[in-house]
Amino acid sequence: MDQSFKKQERLCHKKVIDSLFDRSNALNKSKAEFPVRMIYRKAEDAGRSQVLFSVSKRAFKRAVDRNAMKRRLREAYRLNKHEIVDKPSYIVFLYLSKEKMSFADIQKAMQKLLSKIK
């Protein structure tokens, strides 16, 4: 099982990102498991899931702290992405907490969220 996180798995298309954050889009689904919220949509045209990670600048003023939390989110996704291999989707992970959480807490939340994608 390939556990790497390749460039093709990063969500970079502006139109897709905007449509995921559009609340009026009926295709988008959202699940939350503190401290992570997931917004996702099935991707018919993509061969694999594409993912975006976001941490609020309002909650973490220093870029060092934001990057550390994004790194933890990416690692938790990388270790658990095998659960959605056969379900190509566009996914956004939003970090909700205003404090730094441990990697173990983030990983538990990520496992629960990825298991909810049907």
Question: In which domain, by residue range, is 104 found?
Answer: 7-116
User: Of how many residues is the chain composed?
Assistant: 118
The backbone region for 96, taken as left when phi is positive above 0, alpha when psi lies in -120 to 50, beta otherwise, is alpha
Q: What percent of the chain has pLDDT over 90?
A: 76
In this predicted structure, the answer to whether residue 3 has a pLDDT above a threshold of 70 is yes
Tell me the per-residue pLDDT of 33-65, one tens digit each, with 9 for 90 and over. Answer: 999 999 999 987 767 899 999 999 999 999 999
Residue 92 resides in a domain = yes
Q: Is residue 28 part of a domain?
A: yes
How far is the CA of 99 from the CAs of 11, 22, 55, 77, in angstroms?
26, 27, 11, 20
| Residue 2, in any domain of the structure | no
* 31 in a structural domain: yes
Residue 68 has pLDDT above 80, yes or no: yes
- The residue assigned the tokens 């989110």 is 73
Residue 97 lies in a domain: yes
Task: Give the CATH number, domain containing residue 74.
Answer: 3.30.230.10
Q: CB neighbours of 2 closer than 8 A, spacing ≥ 6? A: none
The total number of structural domains that make up the chain: 1
Q: Supply the pLDDT for residue 44.
A: 79
Average pLDDT over residues 23-29: 90
At 74-90, the pLDDT tens digits run 999 999 999 888 888 99
Query: pLDDT grade, residue 1 (50/70/90)?
Result: low
d(CA 98, CA 91): 22
Q: What gap in Å lies between CA 71 and CA 89, rounded to an integer?
A: 21
Q: Is residue 51 part of a domain?
A: yes
- 1 in a structural domain: no
